[in-house]
Each structure stands twice: as structure tokens, then as C-alpha cells.
Amino acid sequence: MTLAIGDRVPDLALTATGEKTVRLSDYRGQRLVLYFFPRANTPGCTQEGQDFRDAASDFAAHQTAVLGASRDSLKAQENFKAKQSFPFDLIADTDEALCQAFDVIKVKKMYGKESRGVERSTFLIDTDGTLRAAWRGVKVKGHVAEVLAAVERLAAG
């Protein structure tokens, strides 16, 4: 089942960088941008993370936290976060529970072969834990600016 705009997001226990376990409910009272990326330390994922990093203060100014998520191991996420100086945590969704909840696992074709992978996607969750916007099949260029504009509209009421 795919989450729809207006649905309450599931509250899962998630393994995050910094040896933390976080829940989406931990972010209630502020907005949350949850972005899914296919793989740490690949060009598109690095650029997307850098764009979120570079806009972190703009998101914070609108009481909005950012979380990145992929199926990478916690060690890979820790290394990626440190290497890129991300000011936000990354989720190591190795059991795919979060990916399944947001329906971001898709069959991809590369070089004629099919494989399961994370579809680059971003979700905007409001202060009450309700899904307010979703971007699927994201193209990196200009995406963070589009998400920030949506945050600003939501913050303005």
C-alpha cells in the first residue's frame, strides 16, 4: 500500500548514524523532510546529499529537520555522512522496513538486467506526522530548491 497525501506516516524504530535509534514520531512538533537515495557515495546520491547539506540552515529556519535513508549498512552511512559533512542523520534501512512503508523499492533496469533498488524519492511530513508532499522518481538538479519551496508554503500555512 502506498502512502497518500494526508495519511499519517508509520512510526517505525530506525537505525541512524551516531549510533542512534530514532522514530519518525521523534520529529513531531517540527516538519520533516525524509529523502530516500539509492546508494551512499555514488555521484547522484552524493550531489543530492550535498544539496540538502547546503540548504540545511534554510530548512532549520522553517523548523524542518532532514533525514536521508537508503538500504546501505550503518557503517556505509556513517562514512558517507562524515565524508560529506552532512549535518543531518542518515537511516540504515537494511531490513527495508522504511523503504517498504514508503513504497520506494522498485524494479530497475540497468544494462538490460533487472534488479530491485531504491527509487530516489522525497517526502514532506508536517508537525503532526501527516504526509503533505511526495516526490517520486526524483531528478537531483533543482530538487532541493523545490522541496524547500514546499516547506516554505507549508510553514506559511
SS3 assignment for 14-54? EEECCCEEEEHHHHCCCEEEEEECCCCCCHHHHHHHHHHHH
The closest alpha carbon to 33, from 4, 62, 73, belongs to 62
Strand blocks (E) in the chain: 13-16, 20-23, 31-36, 64-70, 90-92, 105-110, 113-118, 121-125, 131-136
Q: What is the pTM of this model?
A: 0.94
Active site residue 99: no
For position 64, what pLDDT does the model report? Answer: 98
Question: By the 8 A CB rule, do 92 and 126 touch?
Answer: no
| CATH number of the domain encompassing residue 137 | 3.40.30.10
- Residue 7 domain flag: no
Domain count, the chain: 1
- Residue 5 domain flag: no
For position 112, what pLDDT does the model report? Answer: 82
Residue 114's SS3 state is: strand
For position 104, what pLDDT does the model report? Answer: 95
Low-confidence ranges of the chain (pLDDT < 70): 1
For position 1, what pLDDT does the model report? Answer: 60
CA distance 90 to 49: 10
The closest alpha carbon to 27, from 73, 88, 72, belongs to 88
Element (H, E) at 57: helix 56-61
What are the tens digits of pLDDT across the range 84-109?
Answer: 999 999 999 999 999 999 999 988 77
Q: Give me the catalytic one of 9, 45, 69, 125.
A: 45
Residue 91: domain span: 13-156
